[in-house]
Structure 1
Amino acid sequence: MSDVQIRPITADDHDVWLPLWKAYLTFYKTELTDAVTQSTWTRFLDSAEPTHAALAWQDGKAVGMVHFIYHRSNWSIHWSCYLQDLFVAPDQRGTGVGRKLIEYVYATATKDGADKVHWLTHETNATAIALYERIAERPGFIQFRKPL
C-alpha cells in the first residue's frame, strides 16, 4: 500500500468528493438539500470564503476528506480554525488517514496564522474519539444549539 497524500481540493475533484460527502452525511444520519451541497462545494473553490477542503489520496483514489473554516475569536487576536467535517472511507479507518487529515489542518492553520484548531464529534463516535484523545485536548465543554 502506498503512502497517503493530502492535498487541497480543486474544481476537478467534485466527482470524487461528492461520494465521500454523502457517506459522511449518511454516517451522521442526516440529509441536506442539493442546494446546500452545491453551495458548500462552491465555497471551497472561492478564495474569498473562509472555508477550505482537502482530500486524502491513496493509490489514485480519494479515501478521506476534511473541511475547515477560519473564524475570529473574542479570546485571541489570531484566527481560530474550526474543523467542521472529517470523513475516512470505512475500509481505511484505523490506517492513519484520519490523523493525517487532522495534521494537514494543523499545519495549514498554523501557516495561515491560526492559534487554535477545534472541532466536535458525536458522543457515540467512539472510534474517532479514541483518535482525538491522542492528538488533541478534550476541554469538557458541552454544546448547546437552537436551530433558527
Structure 2
Amino acid sequence: MTAVHIRPVSADDHAAWLPLWKAYLQFYKTELAEGVSEVTWQRMLDTNEPTNAALAWRDGKAVGMVNFIYHRSNWSIRNACYLQDLFVAPEQRGTGIGRQLIEHVYATAQANDCDKAHWLTHETNATAIQLYERIAERGGYIQFRKAL
C-alpha cells in the first residue's frame, strides 16, 4: 500500500470531503438540516473561524477526514482543541489512517498553542475505542446534552 499524505482542506477539496462527511453522518445514523453541511464547509475555509479540517490522501483519493475546532477553556489560559468528526473509509480501516489523522490534530493544535485535544465517540464504537485507548486517556466524564 502506498503512503498516506494528510493535509488541511482547501477550497478545491469539497468534492473529496463531502462523500466522507456524508458517510460519517450515515455511520452515526444521523441527518442534518439543509444547509448545515455547506455552512460547516465554509467555516472550515474561513481563517477567522476556529473550525478546521484535514483529509488523508492515498493514491490521489481522499480516504479519511478529520474536523476539529479550537475553543477557549475556563480551566486554562491556552485554547483546547475539540476533535469533533473523524472518519476513515471502510476499506482503509485498520491501516493506521485514523491514528495519523488524530496525530495530525495533535500536532496542529500544539502548533496553534492549544494545551489539549479531546473528543467523544459513541459507546458502541468499539473499534474506535480500541484505538483511542492506545493514544489518549479517558477523562472519566459522562456527557449530558439537551437539544435546544
Partner Cα separation in structure 1 for residue 98 and residue 121 of structure 2:
13
Residue 34 of structure 1 aligns to a residue in which SS?
Answer: coil
Residue 48 of structure 1 aligns to a residue in which SS?
Answer: coil
1:42-53 equivalent positions in 2, closer than 5 A? 42-53=42-53
2:38 matched residue in structure 1 = 38
1:136 matched residue in structure 2 = 136
1:44-83 equivalent positions in 2, closer than 5 A? 44-83=44-83
Partner Cα separation in structure 2 for residue 3 and residue 110 of structure 1:
24
2:94 matched residue in structure 1 = 94
Partner Cα separation in structure 1 for residue 11 and residue 32 of structure 2:
21
2:111 matched residue in structure 1 = 111
Q: CA deviation at 1:139?
A: 1.2
Residue 20 of structure 2 aligns to a residue in which SS?
Answer: helix
Partner Cα separation in structure 2 for residue 40 and residue 16 of structure 1:
15
TM-score by length of 1: 0.99
Residue 95 of structure 1 aligns to a residue in which SS?
Answer: coil
Cα RMSD of the aligned pairs, angstroms, is: 0.5
Percent of paired sites with the same residue: 74
In structure 2, stretches of 5+ residues that fail to align are: none
| Range that drifts further, 29-38 or 79-88 | 29-38
Letter in 1 for 2:43: R
Q: CA deviation at 1:73?
A: 0.3
2:15 matched residue in structure 1 = 15
Q: CA deviation at 1:34?
A: 3.2
Letter in 1 for 2:76: S
Runs of 4+ in 1 over 2 A off after TM superposition: none
Query: Residues 49-96 of structure 1, C-alpha deviation per residue, up to 9 Å, x if partnerless?
Result: 000000000011100000000000000000100000000000011100
